[in-house]
Structure 1
Amino acid sequence: MSDVTPPASAPVPPAPAAPAASDGKTLGIVALVSVFFISLLGLILGFVARGQSKKAGVKNTPATVAIVLGFIFLALTILWIVIAVAGFSALVSQCAELGTGVHTLDNGVTVTCG
């Protein structure tokens, strides 16, 4: 009988590395920029970025600033919408009283109702 050694087994490949958890700083900057254009989006991204930073144990100033500005800009947007709706409803009410046509009010303002 011959002396036969079994073939060497192939080495086991290492397990794929888990993706590194984000510290949220990049998302915090994205939130800060986006809050100037779409306040609600910046506010949401700011909360997500701050949550990621808390998990990573780091401070995220851009995310915090985005959250504060997001609340301020959102409140201003809501206030602007309320004022616009009130103005539009006042105009509709005025036109309902005056009827169709071009009217000059007592204060000199011209209103066109159609």
Structure 2
Amino acid sequence: MTDSAPPPAPAPQPAPTPAPASGTPEKWNVLAIVGFVIVFFGFSLVSIILGFIALNQIKKTGERGRGLAIWAIVLGFVSIIIGIIAWIVVVTAIAANPNISVQ
């Protein structure tokens, strides 16, 4: 009688990872796109609001467009700051030179 050990069990195969579905690209967040585009038309406050809403939605849904939302916010704030500085320069120029008449 031979006492032989049973052969070792084969190693379990790792579960195959599902291949990404080709032809179905990741979805973009529409508010991020709109917020980014609208900042170039002078609607800075709207762009900032849409950017923050888009970031919140992207965090929940995992959509693409986080960079666009951040740029919408940044460009919106920069645009507002530049507008404030321009107004300060214009008002101080008018106040410093009383001979300028605004008609």
Q: TM-score range by the shorter chain?
A: 0.5 to 0.7
Of 73, 77, 80, the residue aligned with 2:83 is 77
Structure 2, unmatched stretches of 5+, are 1-26
Other-structure match for 1:40:
45
1:58 to 54, 63, 71: 63
Deviations 1:38-90 (A, max 9, x none): 21211111111111111213342211111111121111111111111112222
Alpha carbons of 1:51 and 1:38: their partners in 2 closer, same or farther (altered >3 Å)?
Answer: same
- TM-score (norm: length of structure 1): 0.55
8 Å CA contact retained: 1:24, 1:50: no
Distance 2:63 2:33 in 1: 14
Deviation for aligned residue 1:24: 7.1
Aligned identity (percent) is 36
Task: Decide which structure has greater strand share.
Answer: 1
- Judged with a 3 Å threshold, the aligned counterparts in structure 2 of structure 1 residues 72 and 112 are, in CA distance, closer, same or farther, namely closer
Could you say which residue in structure 2 is the equivalent of 1:99? none
Q: TM-score scaled to structure 2, two decimals?
A: 0.60
**RCO higher in structure (CA 8 A, sep ≥6):** 2
Larger Rg: 1
- Seen in structure 2, the aligned counterparts of structure 1 residues 30 and 86 have a Cα distance that, compared at 3 Å, is same
Matched pairs, number: 75
- Between 1:53-62 and 1:41-50, the stretch displaced more is 53-62
